[in-house]
A and B are shown apart, each in its own frame.
Chain A
Amino acid sequence: MAWFKAIVFPGFLFLLVVFLMIFYLERKVLADAHLRIGPFYVGKWGLLQTTADVFKLLQKEFVIQKRANKLLFSLIPFVAFLMVAMLIAFIPFSENWYIVSTSFDLLIILALVTGMPPVFFYAGWASKSKYSFIGGLRAVNQMISGEIPLWLSALAAAVFYGTLNHVKIVESSSFLSFLILLPAFLIFVTAVLVVTDRPPFDIPEAEQEIVYGFMTEFGGFNYAILAVAKLVELFALFSVATVLFLGGFKGPILPGIIWFFLKVFVLYLFTFVVRASTPRIRMDQLLRFCWKVLTPLALLNLAFVILIKMFIS
């Protein structure tokens, strides 16, 4: 049963389908904002388009740049993927559907997310390309500034619930907790966009400046794995946001797992709309925003939550 959970549902295979669908929905929503149709020909309503794209990537030649550090270059995507794949294990999709549940769920997730910047930096470094290198530096710079507010706002939730276990957090959440943690939620989602370099914070891979950042030299299967790793990271963090602030799988009538994905999808929809309408900001503006606005706000919010916790308990 544990193997079934890990590999089929809600593990690897199920999530693969979920990512393909999320990617498909992103393209469809963006196309709608662009007044286009989007994927249309492969499968019903173009549903299989993203699958076809992935298979195209898998067929591609395995190119390693001549100057690149070959071992590191071919290893990095798998390291990145392994690190983010572990995140999924700690997410409860419903009352029973989770792979592992410990009393340190949130801590492990945050620790693993904090481990991502060096991986991306080495991806840029091992490529031995100017664009990749600058992209790697930018990734480290940006992610570290985003992780502080991410941690602080996640801690606010942990303080409020008094536990780090995801299932217990969901079970003890209520409408009141949603209201109290609303500021923390907003900070958390913004920080997630920074940490996973989604638009408008996609500075490390700003294609008009440095081609594709640390992913410039990656192609084919390597690229697919690295790109999926970034997608998984975003998905995991949105799942954590759902668990911490939106009541996870709780909800009337429908089964828990559907509620969970509905909530995650709402968060995704927000990122799609932002992507369709917000230009990318500059590095110095991002740093100023993270250190002068987001971090102090997160600190204040933590103090506020602690104050409330004093009175509730």
Chain B
Amino acid sequence: MSNSIALAGYSFTVEKEVEVSGEDLGLLQEKLLQLNWGVQHPASGPMRLKLWVDGDEVVKVDPDIGYVLRLLEKLVEYRTWINAIVNVERACFIDNFGTMTGYSIAAEKIAGVEVPKKADYVRTMLCEAGRIVSHLIGLGSFIGVLGVHTPMQWALIAREKFLDAFEVYSGQRIATASIVPGGVRYEPTGKFIEKMVHAVDYLEREFIPRYGEVFIDNPTLKLRTKGVGVVSKEKAIQLGLAGPALRASGVASDIRKDYPYAAYGELDFRVVTREEGDAYARYLVIWEELVESAKIIRQAIEGLPEGDYRTKFPVKVPEGEAYVNVEWARGCFGFHLVSKGGTGPYRLKMRAPSFANLWAMPEMMKGVKLADVPVIFASLYMCHGDIDR
């Protein structure tokens, strides 16, 4: 059992070991230095950027991904309609509610199931809580790549309150598996609502004022991030940016507003956009969306209707297919779900916003300084689980 892959009939070609002398380190010569930004790197996460550097200037970037590939799209084909949410939510577990909602809506469209209104409201509430949780980590890690770890710690404290609410709701803090085709899995109890209100209170009264005072109008932060990775409106569409990155370039693209799903059509919120299109604008979009999401949660709690929270979802779903988009924390997440009348999905294609952002990045990174690579990388707000799926 030494090498199972070799047993399966595959062979490796081991690269010949080459002795590298001091001169081969480049930089001093007229040749490009290739830096591996990742896989084991403090800021990259499980992926690698191959950077070709000329002095301090980045010439070329090539992302090398696939380190957390789980092939969720294949795994889903071996599950039942309900079970598949476990795989779908693993696309990125930081905001798992968005993906589960999208998949459930797609399944309901094929099956022709009408969801109770209460389920819609609970979904909205959970999706926004998931968005806040994700945005908090996004804010923290954005400043984290600039060497300050305070915002991440503050954000994690605020995030804990939401995780407490999820725990009361579903028994799990992170991978909740709580939104299923046909509604939501659990009754939103009074204790859950109470915890959620507590979390939103903490966010609005403690986190936002404290954070806004130090890390929004921060002069050094502006010095570092303004004018870095600028993408104009036309360029953003041409590159195919998604989510907050697209909105920071002035394109008001938000599925919640454009094609309302769940209860978003009945709630009042605004789409945050910025015109500058640089890293700082992308950061501010995430920041302002926090406030909007907190508002939506409050409205959803107020308007929570009485009634059932779940309807029966058939075991066998008729033939058909659906393409559903949801506005996930990191952008527009598309689900192309195909049913062949079986007990589970025939094919599920997930369109991941982080994947789109990742492949827009090499174009944005041409000619920037090495020190700006982490800034642009973090400002695009990507999730590795989402890129690889």
Contacts and interface: CB of A to CB of B under 8 A. Distances in A.
A282 B372 contact: yes
B41 interface: yes
A67 B224 contact: no
A277 B214 contact: yes
Contact of A211 (B42, B214, B223): B42
B213 to A, nearest CB: 10
Given A200-B147, A202-B147, A276-B150, A208 B221 contact: no
Interface of B: 19-20, 22, 25-27, 33, 35, 41-43, 56, 143-150, 153-154, 157, 214-215, 218, 220-221, 223-224, 369-374
A208 B22 CA distance: 24
Query: Which of A33, A67, A200, A209 has the largest number of chain B CB atoms within 10 A?
Result: A209
10 contacts: A35-B157, A134-B27, A199-B147, A207-B42, A208-B146, A277-B218, A280-B147, A282-B371, A282-B372, A284-B56
A202 B371 CA distance: 12
A279 B148 contact: yes
B103 to A, nearest CB: 34
Interface of A: 30, 33-36, 67, 125, 128, 130-131, 133-134, 137, 199-200, 202-203, 206-211, 275-285
A192 B371 CA distance: 22
B153 A279 contact: no
A279 B220 contact: yes
A282 B372 CA distance: 8
A62 B322 CA distance: 60
B38 to A, nearest CB: 11
A199 B224 CA distance: 14
Contacts of A280: 146-148, 224
A285 B371 CA distance: 11
Query: Which of B35, B148, B218, B369 has the largest number of chain A CB atoms within 10 A?
Result: B148
Contacts of A34: 149-150, 153-154
Contact of B221 (A67, A130, A279, A283): A279
Given A203-B371, A206-B371, A284-B369, A279 B146 contact: yes
A142 to B, nearest CB: 12
Nearest to B141: A208
